[in-house]
Amino acid sequence: MGVTTTKTVAVTGNQAVAEALRQLNPDVMPAYPITPSTGIMESFTSFVSNGKVDTETILVESEHSAMSACIGASAAGGRVATATSAQGLALMWEMLHIASGYRLPILMALVNRALSAPLNIHGDHSDGMGMRDCGWIQLFSENAQEAYDNTIMAYRIAEHKDVRLPIAVNMDGFIISHSIESMQFIPDAEVKKFVGDYIAIDPLLDLDNPKSIGALVLPDYYMEHKRAQHEAMVNAKKVIQDVSAEFAKLFGRKYDLFESYRLEDAEVVLVALNSAAGTIKDEVDRYREKGVKAGLLKPRVFRPFPYEEIGAALRNAKAVCVMDRADSYGGFGPMFMEIAPAVFPYRQGPSLFNKIYGLGGRDLMPLDVDKVIDETIEVAKTGKVKAVKEYITVRN
């Protein structure tokens, strides 16, 4: 099986994800467009109007209704997708738990944006981190290419018989959603073949076999249902790796649970999600040229979180700075709270500290990254952390 090559195109992140959705051709797509994910629905509804997809779009009166319609359509037996950001996701929150509890493999394109207040439309991860415990698989994407590839892989992961969970594909609002980048699309026929047909489990529209979903479950059974849901999430880890390996074989681009950038012998490591990883890679290169053993770990899968694998990848580092583009007021950044238990089993593990950056779409410049690397070098040398949690790119 040869690696597919296609011509390079220049598109925005939103256009890339819309193109993936066109190729996936879901049965139903309910949405209530919201900045910065609006472009996805704008492109997609033009595909609907021009007969490029068979999808029925439902323009609803709120995001709560959008997710409710997703749940209904998915329970009926359809392949379903939606797109949202920030406040939209927040309004879906109640229904997010119901989608995962019903084990419905709904696909969400989540264009990350800061939560209000203060009102802000730009990119940070407070929306995505807010859905941490909603039972959704969460994939993060550095650029348009990764957002496209993650979207193409999403149904294969979510619909796997050992998983059957909803999945959210994240990319940074504006920084990626509205910037034009060069990337490659996979031909339609190959996407179709890769994704395959959807076979629903116990669909409500199988009228010969009437059934009920969403029945009341009291203390005698609730906990068993939740335990089973955790197992599905645990299973998702291997499925993500298998699907990614098949994707790499067919299309040449390799993905894993996280990306290791010059990490193998790294003593000084930064951890960051999404677009900031691109800036950090450049700075890691510059420090490597100066002889510093710097590296980056970029998580791709936030739920299920690969604790063992990330712990093993970080255990030999001397100092690790976890960079969070979201905050937990009165707590650490959400990524820090995952990395700490990942390295906890290693008694001789790295010194760990946390930087909060880029909230509300504030830029993370190469010089900001340099300051973090410099401090991480210092911590690696002395083993002393000045402040476990600190804000950078903020006026003091």
Partner 1 sequence: MKQKNWKELPHAGTILEAGNANDYKTGSWRSLKPRWIEENCIQCLFCWIYCPDSAVLVKDEKMIGYDYDHCKGCGVCAMECPGKKGNKAIVMEEEGK
Binding residues (CB under 8 A) for partner 1: these are: 101-104, 164, 201-202, 209-213, 215, 217, 220-221, 223-225, 227-228, 231
How many residues are recorded in the chain? 396
Among residues 221 and 344, whose Cβ is nearest to partner 1?
A: 221
Q: What is the closest distance, in whole angstroms, from the C-beta atom of residue 103 to partner 1 in the complex?
A: 4
Among residues 17 and 163, whose Cβ is nearest to partner 1?
A: 163
Q: What is the closest distance, in whole angstroms, from the C-beta atom of residue 134 to partner 1 in the complex?
A: 16
8 A C-beta contact, residue 266 and residue 168:
no
Q: What is the closest distance, in whole angstroms, from the C-beta atom of residue 225 to partner 1 in the complex?
A: 5
Among residues 214 and 331, whose Cβ is nearest to partner 1?
A: 214
Burial status of residue 73 (CB atoms within 10 A of its CB: 0-12, 13-18, 19 or more): buried
Q: What is the DSSP string of 36-67?
A: TTHHHHHHHHHHHHTTS---EEEE-SSHHHHH
Among residues 10 and 228, whose Cβ is nearest to partner 1?
A: 228
In what helix (H) or strand (E) does residue 375 lie, and over which residues does it extend?
A: helix 366-382
Among residues 165 and 240, whose Cβ is nearest to partner 1?
A: 165
Q: What is the closest distance, in whole angstroms, from the C-beta atom of residue 279 to partner 1 in the complex?
A: 42
Q: What is the closest distance, in whole angstroms, from the C-beta atom of residue 212 to partner 1 in the complex?
A: 4
Among residues 1 and 215, whose Cβ is nearest to partner 1?
A: 215
Among residues 164 and 298, whose Cβ is nearest to partner 1?
A: 164
Rounded to whole angstroms, how far apart are CA atoms 192 and 209?
29
Residue closest to 170 by CA, chosen among 204, 123, 207: 123
Question: In angstroms, what is the C-alpha Rg of the chain?
Answer: 21
End-to-end distance of the chain based on CA atoms, in angstroms?
56
For residue 132, the Cα-to-chain-centroid distance in whole angstroms is 11
User: Hey, CA dihedral for 193, 138, 165, 104, is it positive or negative?
Assistant: negative
Q: What is the closest distance, in whole angstroms, from the C-beta atom of residue 365 to partner 1 in the complex?
A: 47
Q: What is the closest distance, in whole angstroms, from the C-beta atom of residue 97 to partner 1 in the complex?
A: 13
For residue 104, the Cα-to-chain-centroid distance in whole angstroms is 18
Burial status of residue 224 (CB atoms within 10 A of its CB: 0-12, 13-18, 19 or more): exposed
